[in-house]
Amino acid sequence: MNQEKLLVLATILICSLTSCSSGCKECKAVNATDNTSQFVTITDVVPDAILEIRYFGTYNFVGTRIDGYEEPTALLTKQAADSLKAVSDDVKALGYRLKIYDAYRPQKGVDHFVRWAEDIADTLMRPYFYPDLDKSVLFDQEYICAKSGHTRGSTVDLTLFDMATEKEVDMGGTFDWFGPESHPDFCGNPETGAYNGNNSKSPAGRSITLEQFQNRMILRQAMLRHGFKPFDTEWWHFTLKNEPFPDTYFTFPVKQLVMN
């Protein structure tokens, strides 16, 4: 199926009334399809990438495997995967490998997040991911939304792995932490790379060190050099600037793709 046919598949409105009331930027009518023909498995393109697919396991903000994650693998559009390969080659020269937490996310997984957020009583993982927040604000503050750029297939959540120490690089905060400490401009200016140590945005007075800020900048700068754009509230989140399906939200599950 060619791209033109793919993009004219039935348009549906996925946003629920609850989520759209939050003013989420992603709430709009979109194309939906389960076509996998323009996707690849990341490790087929970037064979040295390390996968830690958080939503396949239970160590995530929900505390259970997320719907639609059938295998612990990571998928991207072909264009995004090729650009990620260039990032990998870049950081390998600096002594790092890429570690992937999430990439393509099926709409079924996003729907799971929405149901979880609506269940205010379920706070099992609050101590680990959102200790400073009341769960009731997750929609209003857009930590949870009925749509995600991940579902378009060209967004990836990742960090760096140090080949010398054989440890994940210290970024001063965990993946999927709900709070200003995850913002790229926390304690510094990501545009200039200047560290200022200003932790005034942290409700609990948390901070990150100069080294932790610089580690975030190494990842950010490598991603920007190879065609990705950052997200202003998550240091680990990047989307291909020229993503091939900006209006299409995919529905197929996360599992190893069958190569033709």
Among 26, 181, 234, 243, the one annotated catalytic: 234
Question: Which domains, ranges and CATH numbers included, belong to the chain?
Answer: 3-250 (3.30.1380.10)
Residue 114 has pLDDT above 50, yes or no: yes
> pLDDT value at position 26?
53
> pLDDT value at position 258?
81
> pLDDT value at position 38?
97
Six token digits for residue 174? 């965990």
Residue 11 has pLDDT above 70, yes or no: no
Is 181 part of the annotated catalytic residue set? Answer: no
pTM of the predicted protein model:
0.90
Distances (CA, A) of 253 to 6, 57, 257: 17, 15, 10
> pLDDT value at position 10?
33
Q: What is the pLDDT of residues 143-196, one digit of tens each?
A: 999 999 999 999 999 999 999 999 999 999 999 999 999 999 999 999 999 999
Residue 7 has pLDDT above 50, yes or no: no
